[in-house]
Amino acid sequence: MDKKYRFSHKHILGLEDLSSADIDFILNTADSFKEISSRPIKKVPTLRGKTVIHLFFEPSTRTRLSFEIAAKRMSADTFNIAASTSSAQKGETLVDTARNLTAMNPDIIVIRHSSSGSPRLLANHIKASVINAGDGAHEHPSQGLLDLMTVKEQKGRISGLKIAIIGDIAHSRVAHSDIIGFSKMGAEVRVSGPATMLPPGIDKLGARVCRTREEAVEDADVVMALRIQKERQTDPLFPTLREYAACFGISKKVLKSAGPDAMVMHPGPINRGVEMDPDVADGRRSVILEQVTNGVAIRMALLYLIMGQDGNE
């Protein structure tokens, strides 16, 4: 790492905005924070006096909870707003909501929204730092980072690895962040899925499009399945779930052609028996719960770094 390097991002809106040095620095910072979560007293004073608002306009279990746990473990004050209980239900615009939140002087707003670009819109209208917790089909940067951390932890490196991402690439913000992140860190990314779920131009992000699941998985070091994003599809994009599972599901048989130490990932939530067989999801190659554990460390690192690293800027 260059001695002059300094993390200088106020917002985390997408991995598209981060350099490989930024990503490396975030992964190393997260690694140093991970140990806090295994202490008997899981709390450090780093963000004492800081206010973090979680503004979630879409459902979430892992992301919302791990951001909240991360902020609380760093002693920040946290507040949650869900779409169903916010004034968005009464027609308030996102910008008006942002201006009203700013009037209460928060330090960080973590936002999940169905519209791509809404975290950037928010960042342009408020004083606080903004973290994108998933915007439409655009990006899910903290998920991309926790996936990178999990691979680096398990394999000791990212550069040179073969990463197969299978499923609904078109509607998956995780796929977009992972393709950008893994490519920037020197991995070879392959994608496969039904033709209706492969967006044109995905190769420009750094992924090789494979005709079949088998071509993507061949010799892969990492096999990641994605959830079918029904909430972002207007018409059915494949005939039946049974056919999807037969052509794009990850089974033990499919994994036979992967590398001997291939690990299996899924961002969750999993549709068992569709994207992945239960014996694969729960099997020895699976690191799905390690991904969740690392999510807390990555989110602690992001909160810490965007606050200027001493929590006082």
Q: Quick one: which segment of 1-9, 46-54, 265-273, 280-288 binds ligand CP (CB under 6 A)? A: 265-273
Q: Residue 149 or 210: which CB sits closer to ligand CP?
A: 149
Q: Which residues face 54 on adjacent strands?
A: 80, 110
Q: Which position among 46, 63, 129, 177 is part of the footprint of ligand CP (CB under 6 A)?
A: 63
Structure tokens at 182: 């893994």
d(CA 293, CA 290): 5
| 242 noted as active-site residue | no
DSSP string, 142-168: HHHHHHHHHHHHHHS--TT-EEEEES-
| 62 noted as active-site residue | yes
d(CA 260, CA 241): 29
Indicate whether 192 belongs to the interface with ligand CP (CB under 6 A). Answer: no
Do residues 302 and 142 touch, judged by C-beta distance below 8 A?
A: yes
Q: Quick one: which segment of 43-51, 58-66, 235-243, 273-281 binds ligand CP (CB under 6 A)? A: 58-66
Q: What are phi and psi of 167, to 5 degrees?
A: 135, -140
Do residues 178 and 224 touch, judged by C-beta distance below 8 A?
A: yes
Indicate whether 259 belongs to the interface with ligand CP (CB under 6 A). Answer: no
Q: Which position among 143, 172, 177, 192 is part of the footprint of ligand CP (CB under 6 A)?
A: 143
Do residues 131 and 119 touch, judged by C-beta distance below 8 A?
A: yes
Structure tokens at 171: 């509607």
Q: Residue 176 or 311: which CB sits closer to ligand CP?
A: 176
| Enclosing H/E stretch for 53 | strand 51-56
Q: Residue 54 or 184: which CB sits closer to ligand CP?
A: 54
Q: Give min distance, CB of 173 to ligand CP, in A.
A: 8
Q: Which position among 9, 10, 62, 120 is part of the footprint of ligand CP (CB under 6 A)?
A: 62
Indicate whether 61 belongs to the interface with ligand CP (CB under 6 A). Answer: yes
Q: Give min distance, CB of 56 to ligand CP, in A.
A: 9
Question: Out of 90, 204, 253, 284, which one is annotated catalytic?
Answer: 90
Catalogue the active-site residues: 62-63, 90, 112, 140
